[in-house]
Amino acid sequence: MANETVFKRYKGNPIITAAAVPRANSIHNSAIVPFDGGYAGIFRVDEIDFNFTLHAGRSKDGIHWKIDPKVIKMKNNDPYLTIKNRTYDPRVTQIGDDYYVTWCLDSPQGPCIGLAVTKDFKTFKQMENPLPPANRNCVIFPRKINGKYAILHRPSDRAHTPFGDIFYSTSQDLVHWGCHRFVFGTSNSGWQSTKVGPGPVPIETKDGWLLIYHGVWTSCNGYLYYAGGALLDIDRPWKVLYRTRDYLLAPTEPYERIGDVPNVVFPSSAVMIGDILRLYYGCADTCISVAEAKLRDVVKFVKTHSF
């Protein structure tokens, strides 16, 4: 199967631009889930003063969106957790009736992971930060594994530098995290040789957990971001069964190549519609687009185009 036949881009891309929210400079790298007969999302909005904020949004079809112009206000019982700085790159995981939101926030010690829970995408209760700085990506598995909550995350550093491997961690209570396991890091394959990071919520399949991740290559003209895929063991998700040598999606379209950060495809959420996997991804740190593929084709590609 040729790479270009795995994911097909929506003809109406991009589906969300800065025009959706007043004061927005760009809207990208956001999280979307099925909700209440339609869809709900948490959106990264970079404002015209370049403060990064999170906004809730709703859609009937997952394509046409109404995004709240007001910034999400998290409720918490600890002033230490009060958000004072930029918030960005959210992920949303449904477990039972709860929707858990993870995101990256700036702290004086470097980028840090935040965590909150909601049932209605109107009220958000902020929980303890699951991990210390510095960390830039975190996504929660959609069910407990071996009786514990589980995450994939990417420790980072205080600067936006070529540094990043994926780790797996678990918790009994969503507060205390441990049993950290290395999953995988960069490779000699050009498009993922600089850094990697977890993307959408892993999808459980009979072949393992399907993880769509981003890989970064440093060219003579800067960073380029791509989407790759891996299959992880169901009971031991730190064990990699397959991992793509070839990318699944690359920045080839004008809206992926031209923007605030050129040449970026950043997979951030995936929704199953029957047997179709709909992938939402940020484009050039400027807008949001959609691509779709049959789940079995994505799994087959990962298994047949691996190291």
Instruction: Compute the average pLDDT of residues 146-173.
Output: 91
Query: Is the pLDDT assigned to residue 86 strictly greater than 80?
Result: yes
pTM surpassing 0.85? yes
- Sheet of 166-171: strands edge to edge? 135-140, 149-155, 166-171, 177-184
Between β-strands 74-75 and 124-126, what pairing exists: parallel, antiparallel or unpaired? parallel
Query: Is the pLDDT assigned to residue 160 strictly greater than 80?
Result: no
Tell me how far apart the alpha carbons of residues 263 and 198 are, in angstroms, rounded to a whole number.
Answer: 19
Q: Report residue 266's pLDDT band, with 50, 70 and 90 as the boundaries.
A: very high
Instruction: Compute the average pLDDT of residues 295-303.
Output: 97
pLDDT tens for each residue of 111-129: 999 999 999 999 999 999 9
Mean pLDDT of the chain: 95
CB-count exposure of residue 181 (10 Å: 0-12, 13-18, 19+): middle
Structure tokens at 52: 């990064």
pLDDT tens for each residue of 180-198: 999 999 998 799 999 999 9
- Residue 246 CB coordination number (10 Å): 17
pLDDT tens for each residue of 39-54: 999 999 999 999 999 9
The pLDDT of residue 85: 82
The pLDDT of residue 268: 98
Tell me how far apart the alpha carbons of residues 26 and 262 are, in angstroms, rounded to a whole number.
Answer: 13
The pLDDT of residue 4: 55
- The answer to whether residues 166 and 178 touch, using CB atoms and an 8 Å cutoff, is no
- Residue 222 CB coordination number (10 Å): 10
What domains, with CATH codes, occur in the chain? 12-304 (2.115.10.20)
Instruction: Compute the average pLDDT of residues 144-148.
Output: 98
Tell me how far apart the alpha carbons of residues 24 and 10 are, in angstroms, rounded to a whole number.
Answer: 23
Tell me how far apart the alpha carbons of residues 307 and 304 are, in angstroms, rounded to a whole number.
Answer: 9
